[in-house]
Amino acid sequence: MPNTESELNEEFSNEFNIPPPTESSSKEGNRFLNDFRVEFEKRRIEARNRILESEGRALENKTHLNEEEIRTNERVKRFQRRVDEWTALEIERESQVQPPLWYQRDREEQNRTLNFLMSGMADLQRTINTMQGTMNTMQGTMNTMQENMINFTNKVNTLDMRSVRAENRDLRKGAYVISPVPFINGNNPDPDLPPITSVQDVDRLSRSQCSRYLQGYGVTFHVNETIGMKKKLASAVGLSAEYDREYPFSGFPN
């Protein structure tokens, strides 16, 4: 590999007057190659343009140009091999150079600090995952408690409905009017519904009003029922005395 300026000038001499590399380095070698390729391309384009301008000498000039291109390409390949050798040597030298001791110690300290931080981050992530798992468990417990509360409320509402219905049965034994029975959800009947205090009140209800009452008490019925709906509603609110059961209900008004 050339080392002196004269050797470099001799090896990289060219007809394009491109300055040879000033030193045996990949930087200078690549600089020379780029300049050489650019100038060669310019000359090639100019030559081809001249060929096109002179059709009579086209074939001869084209042959000459092709030969020149072949020779120049071979020189480019030779230059490239030399630059590749320089690059490989530089890489080899850099791999053999050991950094100063203080630099190695700094890098080791940086690596230890980075490992410590990464370990801390991993611990933090595990803690977060544990907390998330605990929160999920708590959420599941709260959901279960909420479901239990809803079930308990439904049971209380059902007991309340049954309790009032039982009181109404006792009232009917003495021929008293009954009290309003809350729906199965714990709410009182809608205010726009006529109150029920006797079987006569049930008999005066429309089909829509009777359906709303039965749905509120959770009583199933068929849409085509008439008198059967009224009897079910009377039983649902505690109108179950003998004279209530024998009451002759009429159909729904049209």
In this prediction, residue 186 carries a pLDDT of 86
User: How large a percentage of the chain has pLDDT more than 90?
Assistant: 28
Model confidence pLDDT, tens digit, residues 150-203: 665 655 656 667 888 888 888 888 888 898 999 988 888 999 999 999 999 999
CA triplet 227, 230, 231: central angle to 5 degrees? 85
Nearest residue to 88 (alpha-carbon basis) of 29, 21, 46, 7: 29
Average pLDDT over residues 212-222: 93
Scanning the structure block, which residue is given the tokens 């059902």? 158
In this prediction, residue 229 carries a pLDDT of 94
In this prediction, residue 199 carries a pLDDT of 93
Average pLDDT over residues 84-90: 88
Confidence band for 123, pLDDT divided at 50, 70 and 90: confident
Model confidence pLDDT, tens digit, residues 38-71: 999 998 888 888 877 775 555 565 666 678 778 8
Show Cβ contacts of residue 74 under 8 Å, excluding neighbours closer than 6 positions: none
User: How large a percentage of the chain has pLDDT more than 70?
Assistant: 85
Confidence band for 114, pLDDT divided at 50, 70 and 90: low
In this prediction, residue 227 carries a pLDDT of 93
83-103 burial string, b = 16+ CB within 10 Å, else e?
beebeeeeeeeeeeeeeeeee
Average pLDDT over residues 121-149: 80
In this prediction, residue 157 carries a pLDDT of 57
Domain borders along the chain are: 4-79, 154-246
Confidence band for 124, pLDDT divided at 50, 70 and 90: confident
Q: What is the mean pLDDT of the chain?
A: 83
Q: Which two tokens stand for residue 120?
A: 């801390």
Q: Is the Cα dihedral 60, 61, 64, 70 positive or negative?
A: negative
Average pLDDT over residues 80-95: 85
In this prediction, residue 151 carries a pLDDT of 61
In this prediction, residue 209 carries a pLDDT of 94
Scanning the structure block, which residue is given the tokens 């709906």? 229
Higher pLDDT, 52 or 16: 16
Confidence band for 113, pLDDT divided at 50, 70 and 90: low
Whether the predicted pLDDT of 235 surpasses 90: yes
Average pLDDT over residues 202-218: 94
**CA separation (Å) from 158 to 46, 168, 232?**
103, 15, 17
- The predicted model scores a pTM of 0.42
32, 92 contact by CB (below 8 A): no
**Which residue stretches of the chain are H helix?**
5-11, 26-53, 58-96, 101-173, 199-203, 207-216, 227-236, 242-245
